[in-house]
Amino acid sequence: MIDKENLSELQKEIVKRLQFVYDPEIPVSVWDMGLIYAIDVDEQNNVKVSMTLTSPNCPVAESLPEEVKTAIAQIPEVGKVEVKIVFTPSWSIEYMSDEAKLELGFL
């Protein structure tokens, strides 16, 4: 999981962009939903993202990772972008930000 306290400046910019990528069925960003498990940046600013979906049968399983990739690729400093879907660990509402929980009525 991501250490949110020790993000590089580029990772922080990536997070800002991910806060504008939404699952069309849920009015919360992929970042606040806790769907992003890792953001790795190499020396050439190539980015690898590990993300999950709320369920393996998610209707946006193909389009949502592409939206994440596109949002990150728009950052001028970023090289190549790879988005990998993972299902371990399984997503849980515990990964959601407090704002997302409030928005969806879990708080």
What is the DSSP annotation of 65-92? HHHHHHHHHTSTT---EEEEE--SSPP-
Q: Could you tell me which of 107, 91, 94 has the C-alpha nearest to residue 23?
A: 91
Instruction: Identify the DSSP state of 26.
Output: S
The domain limits of the chain are 9-92
Secondary structure element (H or E) that encloses residue 49, with its range: strand 47-51
- The whole-number pLDDT of residue 107 equals 80
pLDDT of the chain, 107 residues: tens digit per residue: 787 778 899 999 999 999 999 988 888 999 999 999 999 999 999 999 999 998 888 888 889 999 999 999 999 999 999 999 999 999 999 999 999 999 899 88
- The whole-number pLDDT of residue 8 equals 92
- The whole-number pLDDT of residue 26 equals 85
- The whole-number pLDDT of residue 40 equals 96
| 9-92: CATH number | 3.30.300.130
CA 17 from centroid of its chain's CA atoms: 9
